[in-house]
Structure 1
Amino acid sequence: MARVRPIPDTHPQFSVLDLPGYREYRVENWHLARDGSGRIIRGTSYPLWLSILSLCMSIAWLKTTAWLLATSLLAITLVGINSLPILYESVVVIPSQGIQFETHQGLKSRSLISSRRFIPFASLEDVVINEALHRWNVRFYLVAIRQVGAHGHRLEVAFENLLPHHPILRQVYYGIQELSPYVAR
């Protein structure tokens, strides 16, 4: 396994892992402080106070009924799982098969939940870097155009939670173009 950080000075959270049979482009949920101190600033998660509030409300409404207790515990569990921070997102390119978008959530360096979306090269029309306006900012995102059915298309956004900067997206875009046999060049 060879891990390379192609943009170490400005985007050290981006790495490329070359493994036998596939290549992974990974963006971790941290960045360096902008004051030049070199401090690492971790990404945030959803508010934990929401699960604590639901716990307090369930205890207040608890009148010795088991179904209310079970419902409250289920709600707390679901809120707790959704409040786990995103550790990293990645695009995995499998040259003979397709591309896969992954999101990993967990605590510190332990991934507890992961979601994956696989797009076979046979249904992949193109991969593009697009831009969107968000308030007063221009944000770039990498999108895979996937054919669904005879005349339908679906847009699959890579790194949809972290939205890395344009230099990272450009590296991933060229890597996908290099390894995919079907994507328009």
Structure 2
Amino acid sequence: MRQTRPLLDLHPEFSVIEWPGFSEYRVENWRLARNGSGKIIRGATTWSWLDPCVPVIFSLAWSKVSSGSLVAYLLIGITLVLFVWSRCNQVLHESVLVFPTLGIQLESHRGHPSLEPLFVSRRFIHASSLEDFVIHEGLRRWDVRYYLAAIKRSSNGGLSIQVAFENILPYFPVLQEVYIGVQNAMFPGPNLQDS
């Protein structure tokens, strides 16, 4: 295994991990501030100001409903479950794994930042059904966003689009590096790095 960070100065959250037989293009859920200060902006947070307030709020609520109201206990329980779920359902990183003769796999890893990922969603697209891997652009409010998409042909001939890095939406230079890597591995032909 060899891990490199090809865009270390501007996008250190992006890394390429080369394994024997396949490559992984990983984008972690943090980035540098765009103002050049070098400040890290985290997408997934370990602790916030709300975390120490939660036990205090629950202890106050528990003492108020000590009369045994089932509805109050259910509300407290549901609120606690929703809070824990929101902390453990953060996107930690997303990856595109490229298996040159087999296909590509799009992954999203979720969990709490101080733990190992609790949930991993994987979508494999076989090489025979992979029509193309492209950079699209879309509008989001008043902003133009670029994103990577795999165009997949189904068995009945219909086309579907699978978006890579759909939760993190990295910046264009990261998308371009992944695009070139996938194109060179999956669609051999003229070298894209020369253009």
**TM-score in same-fold range (> 0.5):** yes
Gaps of 5+ in 2: none
**What letter matches 2:84 in structure 1?**
G
1:136 is aligned to 2:142? yes
TM-score, reference length from structure 1: 0.79
1:88 is aligned to 2:99? no
SS state at 1:171 partner: helix
% same residue? 46
Runs of 4 or more consecutive aligned structure 1 residues displaced over 6 Å after TM superposition: none
Cα distance change, pair 155–81 in 1 and its aligned pair in 2 (3 A): same
SS state at 1:122 partner: coil
Gaps of 5+ in 1: none
Cα distance change, pair 78–119 in 1 and its aligned pair in 2 (3 A): farther
Task: Give the whole-Å Cα distance in 2 for the aligned partners of 1:122 and 1:98.
Answer: 8
Query: Of the two, which has the highest radius of gyration?
Result: 2
TM-score, reference length from structure 2: 0.76
For residue 20 of structure 1, report the CA deviation from its aligned partner.
1.0
Instruction: Work out the number of aligned pairs and report it.
Output: 175
- For the 8 Å contact 2:30–2:44, the answer to whether it is kept is no
Task: Give the whole-Å Cα distance in 1 for the aligned partners of 2:171 and 2:156.
Answer: 34
Task: Give the whole-Å Cα distance in 2 for the aligned partners of 1:119 and 1:82.
Answer: 29
Number of the residue aligned with 2:5: 5
Superimposed CA distance per residue, residues 21-40 of structure 1 (whole angstroms, 9 cap, x where no aligned partner): 11000011111123433222
Task: Give the whole-Å Cα distance in 1 for the aligned partners of 2:38 and 2:174.
Answer: 20
Number of the residue aligned with 1:106: 111
Task: Give the whole-Å Cα distance in 1 for the aligned partners of 2:96 and 2:173.
Answer: 15
Task: Give the whole-Å Cα distance in 1 for the aligned partners of 2:77 and 2:126.
Answer: 39
Larger % of strand: which? 1
- For the 8 Å contact 1:121–1:182, the answer to whether it is kept is no
